[in-house]
Amino acid sequence: MTDPLHVHEGGRVRGFVIRWVVNALALLVAAWILKGIVVNSYLSLFVAAFVIGLLNAFLRPVVLLLTLPLNILTLGLFTLVVNGIMILLAGDVVRGFEVHGFFSAVFAALIMGLVSFILNLFISDSGQIENVMIITDERRF
């Protein structure tokens, strides 16, 4: 039996790739729903998802720390604005990924958060697809 806290190197890489794909799918859904988000190719979609991931890993914690009083004052809703700023920055960096306006970025952050949350419910920490068992009541009236 394997230790659930120990994840071998292949599992980390697989988990990273699966979460990258999930974020790319979430970005694709946001681009499909919002007219202000334009993705010109699948390559730019995956590069944008990667850049957003890097920005969220390195820049977002610093910005959240600097805006902590405002975040507390808004009961955490300012985090959505910070996430929108990360998407705006990615739009400036990645060719073929365009973000037209601040509100498009904020709504894209909201959509990406919801889609990522739903898809990540089915993925374990090691990147494996979780089995979902639906139990129904078999009684008939």
Tokens read off for 78: 């300012």
Show the domain range for 42: 10-120
Q: How far is CA 68 from CA 9, 18, 62, 89, 132, in A?
A: 35, 31, 10, 20, 37
pLDDT above 90 for 19? no
Q: Using one digit for the tens of pLDDT, what is the confidence trace for 34-60?
A: 999 999 999 999 999 999 999 999 999
Residue 92 lies in a domain: yes
Q: Quickly tell me which residue has 């604005």 as its tokens.
A: 81
How far is 120 from 103, CA to CA, in rounded Å?
25
Mean pLDDT of all residues in 128-139: 65
**Residue 99 contacts residue 108 (beta carbons within 8 Å):** yes
pLDDT of res. 64:
97
How far is 13 from 10, CA to CA, in rounded Å?
5
How is residue 101 annotated by DSSP?
Answer: S
Residue 16 lies in a domain: yes
pLDDT of res. 43:
98
Residue 64 lies in a domain: yes
Q: Using one digit for the tens of pLDDT, what is the confidence trace for 71-128?
A: 999 999 999 999 999 999 999 999 999 999 999 999 999 999 999 999 888 876 666 6
pLDDT above 50 for 5? no
Closest CA to 111 of 74, 91, 83, 71: 83
> How many independent structural domains does the chain possess?
1
Cβ-count burial 9-22 (b if 16+ within 10 Å, e if not) = eebeeebeebbeeb
Residue 3 lies in a domain: no
Residue 70 lies in a domain: yes
pLDDT of res. 1:
46
Residue 28 lies in a domain: yes
